[in-house]
Structure 1
Amino acid sequence: MQPFVFNTTARLVCKAGAATELGHHTAALLGGTVLFVTDQGLRAIGLEKGAIASLEAAGIKVSVFDGVEADPSLATLLAAVEMAQATGATGIVGFGGGSSMDVAKLAALIAGSGEDINEAWGVGNAKGPRLPLVLVPTTAGTGSEATPVSIITVGENEKRGVSSPLLLPDIAILDAELTLGLPAPITAATGIDAMVHAIEAYASKSANNNPVSAMLAREALTLLGANIETVVREPRNHAARQSMLLGSMLAGMAFGNSPVAAVHALAYPIGGMFHIPHGLSNALVLPHVLSFNIEDESNGSWQHYGELAPLAFPALTEPPSPSLARDFIAELSALSARLGLPQRLRDCGIGEEALPVMAADAMKQTRLLVNNPRDVSEADALAIYQAAW
């Protein structure tokens, strides 16, 4: 067995209604003044009220930063940091989807240490310390509550990441009741996103691909495959929602240690340039990246995809083979279509003339591309986009 390191969230609370007990679970950690990071959409429906009331009942002063947008910008992050500093925050709560949790992670880091964000970009460059951090996901997709990564949009459309164990929260709260109101398109796209995390973690070329991540990825894909269509058809199915939330978190634990690869690298320009949600961006390129990977049988990706196939799709019962890997990819495409997601880049308003620019941008995601089972050149990226167009 090769050496590996496995880091994850220190404490998990998985319980329906746990968000309304937030003060009970976190008061001793967060201190007397909290910055609560969320977005205006969640505030408009009042989803955060129970969590904030619980914090206040525990004697905690809460200041709310609700300026997080999809694909949060550096300006948004710095505004959150400024508010944390101005209010004397002793702890940070991130409440929402991946964007809110990403902002909360880096706000905790910068407000706690005062370090320059420009020196923290990349893998292992953050120094810390950070403020105490609690994350409460409201979607079953990013798994950000269990990953050491935060992604921020810099400039017009460049996505940059900070990857450090410092960004793992002290506590994650998994409360499926927060996900019951999610519209079907968001439920579907975030669910596919979580499946991508499990698939890429399992097949990652990272030197830190390890037995713990592999086990978690397999269990995650089993839960996600068994429940994703149910939650889209039956949006208030509590059991399926909780299974999706757990599956998403397990996939986050997996790829937080065995990092994702080319699917994400090619998805980022789609989101950055066209503001397409991250989960949908992943879904659009997923089958085409996996097909590219198995074209070269020597990298062994067909073996990984074949091992995962029956977990997500129990009807695929034969032993792993290149043929089974192709069937797995076809089933992923069919699942995306059944869930009602757009199938082509052109369906999302992306013109063919944008593909070369996207391919060039994807090459900037070197921290992800190095993990792909097969090397990806700019010409390869362009061919994958053309296949997806």
Structure 2
Amino acid sequence: MTDFVFRAPPRIISEIDGLECLGQLAQELAIKRPLLVCDQGIVACGIAGRASRVLAAAGLKAATFDAVLADPPVEMVRKAVEAARAAEADGIIGLGGGSSLDTAKVVALLAHSTQTIEEIYGVDMATGGRLPLIQVPTTAGTGSEVTWVSVITNENGEKKAVYTPQLLPDIALLDAGLTVGMPPKVSAATALDAMVHAIEAYTSRTRKNPVADALARKALELLSRNLPLVLENGQDLQARSAVLEGAMLGGMAFVNASVAAIHGLAYPLGARFHVPHGHSNALVMGPVLRFNLRAATAAYAELARCVLPGRSFASEAEAAEAFVSRMEEMAGYGGLETRLSQLGVGEADIPGMAEEVVTQIQRLIATNPCDMNLEEVTAIYRSIL
């Protein structure tokens, strides 16, 4: 057993209609002037307005930054930091999907800091503390509400990660009612993202640990059993709660054990073609799992019991194959496209994406069960063209 450190937020609250407690929670953190960080979709569906009303009812003077964009561009994040300073915010509330939550983390960190965003890219590069931070996810997938990583897209379209414990929130508030409006395609993509988090944490070559393993197994169990129920009936709050909790557990697993090549191959699809992150993961998941099968048979066999409960297998190899087949089947849930060409990616785009994976995202290949070279990454992309 290797040494490990496991970090998690001090408080996680899972409660239907928990958003009604937001003002009280902010007061407990001594926040008087919170900044809500969200996107226009959260405004349009009324969730931002509801949060603002709850905060106002608690006597708090809330401001809102509602210009978050997908795959947070660095210039947009700078504007969010400036908004926090202009509002003299003394606390940050992230409200939305992974992009809003990732932006909120960096805003909380930099609002009162002299560091630039570029200076905090990497591992443990941030200095000082941050503003009090509450994270409220409205999608069930990224797990960003419980992680200390934020992924920013720089001016060149490259993904840059900030890893530092200060990004862990004071409170993660899970309210499954906020996810009810997600269409089936988004529900599927985000849940598959969470399942990938769990799988890659469980098979991490460098940071696998027993706490993350336990969370990953439970995450896969909750997600695989309840995603079909959510797709069948989007109003099923118990199923949505289970999926949201599974995503949270998957987030804690991966940030303490790392993600790997599925994420590595997914990143260029988001940066270059704006394919949503969960969908990008779903697209490359099947072929990467098959590529890893030779080194991950034992681990995949164990995970088969999470996604195929009650099924018996004649051998470890049969269980591992059943696991990969099941995940391949789920990749098309909710009507998700399963071919790159369906999303505007062509043969001419593949060499550049593959080069990016092996040169700029090598850190994720390093944690993968198997090494990958340029030719192998290229072949994986071509297999799903």
TM-score, normalised by the number of residues in structure 1: 0.96
Alpha-carbon contact 1:10-1:170 (below 8 Å) kept: yes
Which AA in structure 2 matches 1:237? D
Match of 1:357 in 2: 352
Paired position in structure 1 for 2:100: 100
Q: Deviations over 1:285-309 (max 9, x none)?
A: 0011111112xx3x3x111111001
Unaligned stretches of 5+ in structure 2?
none
Q: How does 1:152-163 map to 2 (within 5 A)?
A: 152-163=152-163
Deviation at 1:59, TM superposition (A): 1.9
Query: How far 1:17 moved relative to its partner?
Result: 0.4
Rounded Cα–Cα distance in structure 2 between residues aligned with 1:128 and 1:366: 29
Q: In structure 1, what is the Cα distance between the partners aligned to 2:112 and 2:131?
A: 5
Report the counterpart of residue 47 of structure 1 in structure 2: 47
Q: SS of the residue aligned with 1:256?
A: helix
AA partner of residue 192 (structure 1): L
Deviation at 1:35, TM superposition (A): 1.0
TM superposition shift of 1:27: 1.3
Relative to structure 1, the CA distance from residue 338 to residue 278 in structure 2 (aligned partners, 3 Å threshold; closer, same or farther) is closer
Which residue of structure 2 lines up, in the alignment, with residue 379 of structure 1? Answer: 375
Point out where structure 1 has 5 or more consecutive residues left out of the alignment.
none
2:283 paired with 1:263: no
Provide the C-alpha distance between the structure 1 equivalents of 2:26 and 2:365, rounded to a whole number of angstroms: 37
Tell me what 2:142 maps to.
142
Using the alignment, how far apart are the partners of 2:172 and 2:315 within structure 1? 36
Question: Partner of 1:113: helix, strand, or coil?
Answer: coil
Mapped contact 2:187–2:334 kept (Cα < 8 A): no
Aligned to 1:191: 191
Instruction: Call closer, same or farther: CA 1:223–1:130 in 2, change over 3 Å.
Output: same
Shift of 1:320: 5.9
Letter in structure 2 aligned against 1:330 = S
Tell me what 1:8 maps to: 8
What is the CA deviation profile of residues 173-226 of structure 1, one whole-angstrom value per residue up to 9, with x for unaligned ones? 0000000111111001001111000100000112x3211000000000000000
Do the aligned residues in 1 keep the contact of 2:188 with 2:333 (CA within 8 Å)?
no
Q: Is it true that 1:283 corresponds to 2:271 in the alignment?
A: no
Q: How many corresponding residue pairs?
A: 384
Kindly indicate whether the alpha-carbon contact (under 8 Å) linking 2:286 and 2:331 is maintained by their aligned counterparts in 1.
no
In structure 2, the partner of 1:340 is 335
Shift of 1:26: 2.2
1:338 Cα offset (Å): 4.2
Task: Give 1:362 shift.
Answer: 1.4
Deviating beyond 6 angstroms after TM superposition, the runs of 4 or more aligned structure 1 residues are none
Q: Distance in 1 between matches of 2:146 and 2:317?
A: 32
Counterpart of 2:301 in structure 1 is 306
Residues 126-275 of structure 1: pairs in structure 2 closer than 5 A: 126-206=126-206, 208-275=207-274
Residues 338/40 of structure 1: CA separation in 2 closer, same or farther (3 Å cut): closer
Superposed displacement of residue 274, structure 1 = 0.2
Q: Structure 1 counterpart of 2:336, which letter?
A: L
The alignment's C-alpha RMSD in Å is 1.3
Identical residues among aligned pairs (%): 46
Question: Do residues 388 (structure 1) and 384 (structure 2) align?
Answer: yes
Alignment-derived partner of residue 74 in structure 1: 74
Q: Point out the more displaced range, 337-346 or 16-25.
A: 337-346
The TM-score with structure 2 as length reference comes to 0.97
